[in-house]
Structure 1
Amino acid sequence: MRYVVGLMMVAFFLGGVGLFAVGVRELTRRFGARRRLRSAEGEIVRIEKRQEIMDSDSGRTADFDYPEIRFRTGSGGDKTFIFEIGAGARTARYAIGQKLTVLYDPDGELPPMIDSWAAIWMPNLIRTIAGPIFIFGALFIY
């Protein structure tokens, strides 16, 4: 039992350090790229539906919509991407043909994203906050 607890402590600590490091690195990259990002009008061309397990004990699942968005860059090329944050509301948040403002990096260092605060900052902010929580969890196990 001692080895299992020790392994959990190490796993939580390393996971927390990794989450924090990736979150800070990506927040720094996005903060530095703000001036370089260009705006374009995108259109949803397809909606990918994914069913994800919400509770493994009961087998309860939820459906999430991930829009595939096509937009034209300033240089005239068409790009398509699937937005990484799915919408899981009971009513459809996205519709095929819907117009959205998209931000893209002409240098290609950052992936395209929908122009919203949550899309730009939220995933990496969550990683940055979750990292120390895992680290404190490891210290608590210790």
Structure 2
Amino acid sequence: MVLLRRVIGDALRARRQGQHRTLREVSTAANVSLGYLSEIERGQKEASSELLAAICEALGARLSELLGEVSSTLSLAENMEGVLIPVEAQPVADPLRADAKRQLASDGSVSVSVRQDSPLKATLHATRKTQRDVVYAA
């Protein structure tokens, strides 16, 4: 099962790293502790809507933009079998072994890769193309 807080954290981290900013810079601008921001980015803590808005403002983004990215990522993940809902009981796969179930989906601007480690644990990695990644044909 993919956790919403992890997808939100990944989106925040991608924005921050895309701006080549440190956790310290963003945490200071958002008036949140560095450790707490780190936990949010790693998907270990749920951020309130007020805190998400402050972090987005510190990143120069709208909350609606961030939530739109999260929504498109989750939309792709929903189409992957067993990603957002627990699958029937199966032997637990060792995440370090090759037999962990892997899936990939893309809509052209977002690619989602999911590794299903167990019925209740999945690791989702989303990659979003930026304007710099787009190649224009003449």
Give your verdict on TM over 0.5.
no
State the TM-score, normalizing by the size of structure 2: 0.26
Instruction: Choose between structure 1 and 2 for higher RCO, CA contacts under 8 A separated by at least 6 residues.
Output: 1
**CA radius of gyration, larger in:** 1
State the TM-score, normalizing by the size of structure 1: 0.26
Higher relative strand content: 1
